[in-house]
Amino acid sequence: MKKVVLLALLLVSMAIGVCAVENPDILSRLTIEEKTKLLTGMNGMMTQDFASKGVRSLKFSDGPLGPHSNLELEVCFPNPCILANTFNKDLMRRVGESMGRLCNQQQVDMLLGPGVNIKRTPLCGRNFEYFSEDPVLAGELAAELVKGIQSRGVAVSVKHFFANNIEFNRGAISSDMDMRTAHEIYLRPFEIVVKKAKPLAIMCSYNKINDVWASENKWLLTDVLRNEWGFDGMVVSDWGAVHTRPACFKAGLDLQMPDDASTPGVMQEALEKGEVTEAEIDVNVDRIISLVRRIQNPGPSEDFDIMAEHQVAADAAAEGMVLLKNSGALPLTPDKVKKVAVFGTDARKPLISGSGSAYTPAPDSRVDDFVDMLNRYGNGVQFDYKDRVFPGGIPTFDHGQWAAFNGELNGYDAFIFVVSNGNTTDGEAYDRTTINFDSRLEAMLLHFCGRKNTIVVMQSGSAMAPVYDWYKRANSIVYMGIGGEAGGTALARLLTGDANFSGKLSETFSWRLSDNPVNENIFGNSERIKYDEGVFVGYRWYDANDKDVWYPFGYGLSYTTFEYSDLQIRDNKVSFKIKNTGDVAGAEAAQIYVHPIDSQVSRPVRELKDFVKVYLEPGEEKTVSVNYNSSWFTYYSNEENRWMRDTCKHEIQVGASSRDIRLSKAL
């Protein structure tokens, strides 16, 4: 009798054109009431529990900075805006494994992250939890992170699928773009992650795409995700992103979150009206069952060491912070300075996370005190915290007070200013209105940066731009980003020379917001956002329009120097040499771009295709190799609705940034 039931299920599925189910044995034990109940959560962070029938409940946790469901077992990792600056695939795998171990300890079955949405505009409030303006960098790093997390027997839910590139009216707005823009830029990082890391789940976004909700968009969830890319996991809604339930499940969404007690009744009514069939519901439920079966969370380990995971966070933060300018003040070593003054409301406890669902708290005992860490790694240099410049938080325009304070600073050899707009500009459900620091902060910097050996440390979740000329007066400028609980240690090691800078910017820092095609005008239409700039996003836009920028994509300095040479292209491989020509060990993030020559198609000046990070001792030289394939020379045709090879000539370019090309060769 059981074989007859299973055969009937298979025949019905084939007859209506639905994929055959993988778990017919469990499906046959579930009633239709239980199946419809499985389509939504049991509560805000757990799925339904039918363990007696083979479908246990799963526990979810918000990410993507690490799971946070038990404060004592949480580690706040560097935010993805900093992780991306590492340009280090191996490190991302290591961070992922660490996050996976934390999921094991917290008995979390699925981490909601990473987020791989493109940084289309620096105004997006959620940029701190996204990787980059470039789809290849975002996709490749996220893929390694996913591999690491899932290696620990837990699942990830890659989000937000897709075109959620600003928080403004995200629950109702339509992101309108052509297919070329979609495939080359905004779908691309998701495609890389799906094909390379095989995530067990994808989370749909809140917004519409060309007037169709992402949660009920069959083109997106079935045609592209499953049929084109081969995704075989579960699709979960963002929390509250479901509108018309039968339409969602038919389109390819499998699990509605959070719990909605009305969903079973709505779906059974849809069954009675013939709007859906039980075989169609079986497909959705089957994917949920498959997810449960694939997750093999071993649970807590007795030899777990929370401080070992804290060290992973510290190492990642150190590789992601970027040295933007250095005229000799850094590193702060005993042969150059004896006493250093430190300023800033966040100097002792730097920002660890943006706000919203991604916010990951950490016990105060594990949030590193930057000044304490400076004194630990300073080799005898004295670092003193000075808070009088910041009475009541943001400084007031009191030049008289500042002038009087100058006298107290005469005994110091260097000055560190840690500046941010606080935790009010980087967060979920709201956006920035500017990419400038508070004007009072800028006035303070302008006043004090005339002193010798002034170091400015910028904290933010996305690109910033100066208004006043303090950046000309500052001796050194560091982009700290939002460094997680171990950011204080990472920054202290870098400034004192205990570690070397190797981070590169994963997004362009323009001179002003108006230079970006997506600026404050984006808030003018609450119904739709038109992606009129097409594929020209980030550095692609600035290069195509020959715009000067404050700091370009891929830029970052080191305490040493690197020489590139001997570019070779043969046997589907690009190889070149990198040599450390300085006197300290360091790492260089080399970037490989493709430049089309005389293309008849409107294409970017150059596009990142791969990258590699190389560690070198002083005087050491290594040969670096990456493989290439025909996809490097294609574009997506709106007319043909497919990827096409461009018939023009192409040049392979190898650089230290998008505007520092060291080697090139025509192909």
For helices 89-106 and 135-150, angle between their N-to-C axes, nearest 10 degrees: 40
Angstrom distance (rounded) from CA 244 to CA 474: 56
DSSP bridge pairs for 590: 612
Burial degree of 391 (CB within 10 A; 0-12, 13-18, 19+): exposed
Nearest C-alpha neighbor of 626 from the set 652, 659, 606, 648? 652
Looking up tokens 């989370």 gives 203
Neighbours of 164 (CB within 10 A): 26
Angstrom distance (rounded) from CA 305 to CA 472: 45
- Both tokens of 600, joined, read 């008849």
- DSSP string covering 153-183: T-EEEEEEETT----TTTTT-EEE--HHHII
Q: What are phi and psi of 509, to 5 degrees?
A: -100, 105
- Which listed residue (62, 238, 254, 610) is catalytic? 238
Please give the helix or strand (H or E) that residue 529 lies within, else none.
Answer: strand 528-530
Active site residue 364: no
Nearest C-alpha neighbor of 267 from the set 95, 39, 490, 19? 39
Q: Name every residue whose Cβ is closer than 8 Å to that of residue 93 and which is 6 or more positions away in sequence.
A: 144, 145, 147, 148
Q: What are phi and psi of 558, to 5 degrees?
A: -140, 170
What distances in angstroms separate CA 339 from CA 133, 413, 416, 462, one per listed residue? 40, 6, 11, 32
Whether 499 contacts 550, CB under 8 Å: no
- Both tokens of 307, joined, read 């401080």
C-alpha dihedral sign at 513, 533, 161, 551: negative
Nearest C-alpha neighbor of 442 from the set 413, 414, 474? 474
Burial degree of 605 (CB within 10 A; 0-12, 13-18, 19+): middle
Q: Name every residue whose Cβ is closer than 8 Å to that of residue 615 and which is 6 or more positions away in sequence.
A: 585, 586, 587
DSSP bridge pairs for 110: 60, 155
Report the catalytic residues.
Answer: 238
